[in-house]
Structure 1
């Protein structure tokens, strides 16, 4: 079975207004002490032999604030399996061709840029520190550094949003050479700056749904096939790390607020960087991963839920009532079902929570 390793880098220049991820703003780099703490925790889980993960994912925060030398230390200690996918999230304003060459030499083979919008006024509203010009330059620098697996993020249904803004952002990312695109709706999180002071001009839920369906259609037209609710890829460039999550595989997350699931058991680190640095943040157990989790995560994927695999893995079968509900979903255009696989359509993915509430 595949193993994914997630390394949380909580440091960033400034907190984006929509962000509720655990991060420490006001930083211009990642302290060596923090890298040492990650290495210490890696050794905790692999005291005798390396883990040889199939994927490594540097997430944040802003992982591109790492020095390439520190990224190399972490990758070497993890001793990834041959052909492993090694992803680094990057903010466009934090990279140069030199640092990108350094990350590539360190072993990073997939770079993911947080673009969000091609309009500088919108980026300012979101609290993003980069400009569209910097985003274009980052893609070009990544290609020159030898990256062939490049992802870009698009945020949909932003304040005063239009289809034209989506088109401009897609053009920037596609022309930048992206092989993968994450496109997701803005969600107002209570613990974010937007949660405390919502921006004006937010689309209604129906308008947001229309933007999502427009995005799915146009990404497909540009060769980015939807394989998950918010993820689209050129053939062969699907994100392998996140697929481990959605297939309920084993993953180890290291860093404050990082979550793991190993052998069906969940655990996490407390959201406390100071405790993590000082070695006082032992993982906290958090129950198990079971049939409900599998159903929820599989229905995020366009390939859907294979009922035979569901039964083989958990001994579960759909009841008569569940099958009747599935039939109604198909009739309404929210799902496809051939008797063996249940898959949600883009329209069904919009109302996924309601469908899951009925199925569960």
Structure 2
């Protein structure tokens, strides 16, 4: 089998060595749970903070205690990326972000070129704060724009308008940020094909290095699920929006590398790539999830923390903060691997599958053959990649790998 192209130096593929599990690249995910206002479509672990100011300092103390508790799981490993997600991480002052990064880097070895991303809402940022985030160590921003149409933004419950979005991006660039993502959604209530095209055109004009472009879905336990808004485009129109916007992005030099992610050359999101390549990530904070390869036990561990910030804060650093631990049985690993890697345009290699799951490629070969015959996957040299049809029906392809 070919060597795993995604293994960092010193962590070569284990496929030819009895399919042992070796630790893949490691990322750190930090969940900052508060927001100004909960959007009606949002199913993330985010909470409106009502009354006063969120306890920023206490939360950072708790994050470091949470990290201390999980450190034995990752001793000696290098962190290749950090991602602050939420909620609205840009609610946190730069001093809090700096203290967390200083504390984390004193406990874990950070790669010299580690990508450190902060999600930001255009309605919660200003010039001085961007400069301070850079000084704190943040080197990549992800703007939750969603749309440049003020009517769409109002219907989505966003707290910013299109002018504030453009102003925030301009200020970030002036503060020295060159690497940033714009999040856009399509198939929005009341949106036409021309409106979806206009959103992408405006995003391209702002010259981000990365654009995430994904369809609005009505997730369970959201306001939109309980009371669906009027005017949501039907499936045919949503497909037209996706295809037309993909063409616009490709024409502007943004290569699609994942189902909903497009980037300039060399500017793919390293953190999310590690997720999709079935790498490891340590999750700290209220509701954070992690996935870790435990070489000594030859097992994959999924760990998650209690979701509610108040309960998590009270227990942080103790076993009571852990919502659960789940050791992923070998028969479940093919499904979990494919659930991630088949989102990637690049697909995967048999050696990568073996290294990440500890299983022989023969365990999935018959199902791969089924997907190839269906026109969902194709073999390109040493790689197995999803076809255009397979990317459209990703759920069907992944379901082939469910444990019988």
> TM-score scaled by structure 2?
0.83
Structure 1 stretches (4+) deviating beyond 3 angstroms? 26-30, 46-52, 318-322
Higher relative contact order (CA 8 A, sep 6+): 2
Q: Deviations over 1:136-156 (max 9, x none)?
A: 001100100000101000101
Shift of 1:37: 0.7
- In structure 2, the partner of 1:74 is 100
Q: Give the match's secondary structure for 1:242.
A: helix
Q: 1:26 to 1:335 in 2, by over 3 A?
A: same
Shift of 1:327: 2.4
Q: In the aligned structure 2, how far is the partner of 1:101 from the partner of 1:205?
A: 42
Q: Deviations over 1:220-255 (max 9, x none)?
A: 111111111111100111000111111111100111
Q: Deviations over 1:113-151 (max 9, x none)?
A: 000111000000000010000000011001000001010
Q: In the aligned structure 2, how far is the partner of 1:64 from the partner of 1:160?
A: 29
Shift of 1:357: 2.0
* 1:3 and 1:250 in contact (8 A); partners too: yes
Q: 1:239 to 1:267 in 2, by over 3 A?
A: same
Shift of 1:54: 1.3
Q: In the aligned structure 1, how far is the partner of 2:336 from the partner of 2:63?
A: 28
- In structure 2, the partner of 1:156 is 186
- In structure 2, the partner of 1:46 is 71
- In structure 2, the partner of 1:193 is 223
Confirm whether residue 301 of structure 1 aligns to residue 344 of structure 2: yes
Shift of 1:51: 6.2
Provide the alpha-carbon RMSD of the alignment.
2.1
The aligned runs of 1:278-297 (5 Å cut-off) are 278-279=314-315, 280-288=320-328, 290-297=333-340
- In structure 2, the partner of 1:272 is 308
The range that moved more, 121-130 or 264-273, is 264-273
Aligned with residue 353 of structure 2, among 310, 330, 352 = 310
* 1:220 and 1:226 in contact (8 A); partners too: yes
- In structure 2, the partner of 1:358 is 400
Aligned with residue 19 of structure 1, among 8, 17, 42 = 42
Aligned pair count reads 356
Q: In the aligned structure 2, how far is the partner of 1:242 from the partner of 1:20?
A: 19
Confirm whether residue 341 of structure 1 aligns to residue 383 of structure 2: yes
Shift of 1:206: 2.6
* 1:252 and 1:260 in contact (8 A); partners too: yes
Shift of 1:68: 0.3
Q: In the aligned structure 2, how far is the partner of 1:113 from the partner of 1:172?
A: 14
Q: In the aligned structure 1, how far is the partner of 2:367 from the partner of 2:313?
A: 51
Shift of 1:196: 0.7
* 2:354 and 2:360 in contact (8 A); partners too: yes
* 2:377 and 2:386 in contact (8 A); partners too: yes
Q: Deviations over 1:40-74 (max 9, x none)?
A: 11222337978652111000000000100000001
> TM-score scaled by structure 1?
0.93
* 1:150 and 1:177 in contact (8 A); partners too: no
Q: In the aligned structure 2, how far is the partner of 1:340 from the partner of 1:50?
A: 32
Q: 1:124 to 1:107 in 2, by over 3 A?
A: same
- In structure 1, the partner of 2:297 is none
* 2:152 and 2:190 in contact (8 A); partners too: no
Q: 1:34 to 1:337 in 2, by over 3 A?
A: same
The range that moved more, 124-133 or 243-252, is 243-252
Shift of 1:293: 1.3
Q: In the aligned structure 2, how far is the partner of 1:142 from the partner of 1:67?
A: 15
